[in-house]
């Protein structure tokens, strides 16, 4: 499917400094929307929602309909990948994801690419449905596929749940480098397949979420964050040429510069703490940026939202930039604040 | 008390590039030491331990005796400051600190500097005891006092406990700037008094812990992290000239450069994710560095510890640097790994 010239998100990712910048938001489909909560209640469970194409496509499209976003991101979860490799996954109310903590080589060897095809089939069907629906109803909105990056997915697998510190994977990366390296390698190979399949199904851009990239010291950051992203990007360049990749090495600070230089990603997403005006000029000129309004400014609304949006826009001026948050939309966000943000960005003078 | 010329930690903080660098570790007094656990069991509660000079002094000195550290850091907690202002504080086993979530101006106005003198008296007595003991038994070890920075202390007060995200204080900083600003101002004034009193009692260096600095977007980072640190540093320069201040804007990434430039701190402590070799040359030449071995490399020991220490030492070469971790020692750290680390640093060629 050739890219229509009118998709502003894809133009920005290809390096065009558009003004105003295109806009979409991480977790723009989610609990803050009443229409999402209604579908979620029907789905039974979170994994069921992610793997029922009719429902997953519907929630993917909701924020596009409501706000006219320039990007629609596939509704899914980063832990669908290990689940697709046969790893147990449960989402518990108020607790988040729960997995069996990975402790040995046997558990790595049991990760089974052979079962992946069947398990990701409904995700790919969701991609096809969304792409078709966008073509009919929102031809200027680009569809973004995504995966968790190997380090961040490994964090949840080794720890068994989300925590503040992810002590177990960090300890394993230091103390059991062969075991941890095997896990990262297995996840890297599966991530390539998963993302390439999303592109084949119709995703027009791909995003790699490394939410916990900033927890690693420089040596391990190079090994487990930069290395896998570089390998994934390189293979995708062969397998689905022309599909841009956005990398999100969250909390990496200055490491985002090394990441942008070494991985070959088309865009680097910046987290809330990054000062775009300061780090932007340090990035390679060929790399676009994305981000990075504080999700809490969106919760607050009013003057805080206006000031926060103004700061991001000022930093983005003259750059190939995609307006976004520095982290996902939180459940307590008033939907009307999202509408106001889109108005602010679109009206940027 | 004049500074003996032999205190290497103070020389490094005054800008001397010493080789090998002096070494101490954040949370070097703590649960990983059996002798600490024995004293802790006697103390009754955590606040009682912090406010019983005999016991607090004993645990402060334990790692100096065992490892011969170049620095002894007062055993206390960053939440002792709000507690000293009359704010409720409880430490629950396995849960950490619990405070009443601050929600209004009345709660800010109730913070009472008048009750601070009495409540911090035992902390200051601990400082005097430790200083005296070091003078007798470890004359080359410098005593470090500390406080939590206003933003990080406010995080715990507004949220009521430690979390991954500290959504409530971040929301309040955006949505209720007058209320949040009043809280930060009140804490800033109290922090100055608290640190000046520690210096008067014998602390030879002071550290300001801003553990959650990296959660803020640039505008609020400037307002609530850099601004208070600058004001605190400026007043301390008048009140206790010659006592160096180490600032720790954790997770701030490139923001650590702006912090080092604007606050006037003598040293900036870097977190685990920072690449000293990369960020070091960006810092003002007058500012020393401290850090930043991954605490998990210390848990792992062996090759990981040796490689991690080597990386930090390579980045510190030629700089005024204090060897430390990028975050605190964790409870599961084998004490013999700490001894090994001190040997590695002291033997650096």
Provide the pLDDT for residue A144.
98
- Look up the domain containing B68 and give its range: 8-346
User: Residue A190 is part of a domain; what is its CATH number?
Assistant: 3.20.20.210
How far off is chain A from B301, nearest CA to CA, in Å?
7
Calpha distance B14→B244 (Å, rounded) = 7
Provide the pLDDT for residue A93.
81
Question: Does residue B115 lie within any of the structural domains?
Answer: yes
Question: Residues of B with catalytic annotation?
Answer: 27, 31, 40, 77, 156
DSSP state of A30: S
Calpha distance B26→B230 (Å, rounded) = 23
Provide the pLDDT for residue A1.
55
Cα B243 off chain centre by? 15
Those residues with Cβ within 8 angstroms of residue A136's Cβ, 6 or more apart along the chain or in another chain: none
CB contact under 8 A, B174 and A215: no
Residue B93: pLDDT band with limits 50, 70, 90:
confident
CA distances from A63 to A25, A26, A78, A113, A346 (A): 9, 11, 20, 33, 16
Calpha distance A218→B231 (Å, rounded) = 32
Question: Does residue B86 lie within any of the structural domains?
Answer: yes
State the burial class of residue A155 (Cβ atoms within 10 Å of its Cβ: 0-12, 13-18, 19+). Answer: buried
Question: Scanning every residue of chain B, which has its alpha carbon at the shortest distance from the alpha carbon of A293?
Answer: B217
How far off is chain B from A227, nearest CA to CA, in Å?
16
Provide the pLDDT for residue A2.
54
Summarised one tens digit per residue, pLDDT across range A47-60 is 999 999 999 999 99
Question: Does residue B27 lie within any of the structural domains?
Answer: yes
Summarised one tens digit per residue, pLDDT across range A128-161 is 999 999 999 999 999 999 999 999 999 999 999 9
CB contact under 8 A, A272 and B219: no
Summarised one tens digit per residue, pLDDT across range A186-205 is 999 999 999 999 999 999 99
- Please give the radius of gyration of chain A, using alpha carbons only, rounded to the nearest integer: 19
For the segment A225-229, the average pLDDT, to the nearest whole number, is: 98
Summarised one tens digit per residue, pLDDT across range B22-58 is 999 999 999 999 999 999 999 989 999 999 999 999 9
Give the pTM: 0.96
Q: Does A255 touch chain B (CB under 8 A)?
A: yes
Question: Scanning every residue of chain A, which has its alpha carbon at the shortest distance from the alpha carbon of B168?
Answer: A296
Which of A217, A313, A331, A333 to substitute to test the interface with B, most B CBs within 10 Å?
A: A217
Total domains in chain A come to 1
Question: Does residue B332 lie within any of the structural domains?
Answer: yes
Which of A254, A260, A293, A327 to substitute to test the interface with B, most B CBs within 10 Å?
A: A254
B251 vs A contacts (CB less than 8 Å): 214, 251, 253, 273
A164 vs B contacts (CB less than 8 Å): 162-164
Question: Does residue A64 lie within any of the structural domains?
Answer: yes
Question: Scanning every residue of chain B, which has its alpha carbon at the shortest distance from the alpha carbon of A310?
Answer: B219
B175 vs A contacts (CB less than 8 Å): 299-302, 304
Is the predicted pLDDT of residue B1 greater than 80, yes or no? Answer: no
Question: Does residue A1 lie within any of the structural domains?
Answer: no
Calpha distance A102→A157 (Å, rounded) = 6
CA distances from B73 to B24, B28, B134, B141, B328 (A): 9, 8, 12, 10, 12
Kindly report which listed range (B43-47, B220-224, B292-296) carries the lowest average pLDDT score: B43-47
Question: Does residue A2 lie within any of the structural domains?
Answer: no
Question: Scanning every residue of chain A, which has its alpha carbon at the shortest distance from the alpha carbon of B295?
Answer: A171
A289 vs B contacts (CB less than 8 Å): none
Summarised one tens digit per residue, pLDDT across range A249-272 is 999 999 999 999 999 999 999 999
Question: Does residue A83 lie within any of the structural domains?
Answer: yes
**What residue has token string 């502003």?**
A8
B220 vs A contacts (CB less than 8 Å): 294
Is the predicted pLDDT of residue A243 greater than 80, yes or no? Answer: yes
Those residues with Cβ within 8 angstroms of residue A226's Cβ, 6 or more apart along the chain or in another chain: A258, A259, A262, A263
Q: CA-based angle B16:B301:B68, to the nearest 5? A: 45
**Nearest by Cα to A21 from A287, A323, A246:** A323
């Amino acid at each position: 499917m050739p890219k229509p010239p009118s998709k502003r998100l894809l133009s920005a990712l290809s390096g065009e400094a558009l003004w105003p910048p295109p806009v979409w938001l991480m977790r723009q489909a989610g609990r803050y929307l009443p229409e999402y909560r209604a579908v979620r209640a029907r789905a039974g469970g979170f994994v069921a929602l992610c793997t029922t194409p009719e429902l997953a496509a519907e929630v993917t499209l909701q924020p596009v309909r409501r706000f006219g976003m320039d990007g629609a991101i596939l509704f899914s979860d980063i832990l669908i990948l290990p689940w697709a490799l046969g790893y147990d996954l449960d989402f518990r109310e108020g607790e988040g994801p729960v997995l069996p903590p990975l402790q040995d080589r046997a558990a790595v060897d049991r990760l089974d690419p052979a079962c992946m095809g069947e398990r990701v089939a409904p995700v790919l069907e969701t991609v096809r449905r969304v792409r078709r629906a966008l073509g009919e109803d929102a031809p200027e909105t680009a569809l973004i596929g995504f995966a968790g990056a190997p380090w961040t997915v490994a964090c949840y697998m080794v720890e068994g749940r989300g925590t503040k510190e992810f002590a177990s994977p960090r300890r394993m990366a230091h103390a059991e480098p062969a075991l941890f390296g095997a896990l990262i390698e297995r996840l890297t190979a599966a991530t390539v397949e998963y993302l390439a399949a999303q592109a084949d199904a119709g995703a027009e851009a791909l995003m790699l979420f490394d939410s916990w990239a900033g927890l690693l010291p420089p040596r391990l950051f190079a090994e487990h964050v930069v290395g896998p992203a570089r390998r994934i990007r390189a293979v995708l360049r062969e397998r689905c040429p022309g599909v841009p990749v956005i990398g999100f090495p969250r909390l990496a600070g200055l490491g985002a510069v090394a990441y942008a230089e070494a991985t070959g990603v088309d865009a680097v997403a910046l987290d809330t703490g990054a000062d775009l005006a300061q780090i932007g000029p340090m990035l390679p000129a060929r790399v676009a940026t994305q981000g990075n309004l504080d999700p809490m400014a969106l919760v607050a609304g009013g003057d805080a939202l206006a000031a926060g949006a103004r700061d991001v826009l000022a930093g983005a001026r003259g750059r190939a930039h995609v307006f976004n948050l520095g982290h996902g939309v939180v459940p307590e966000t008033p939907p009307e604040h999202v509408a106001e943000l889109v108005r602010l960005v679109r009206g940027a003078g």
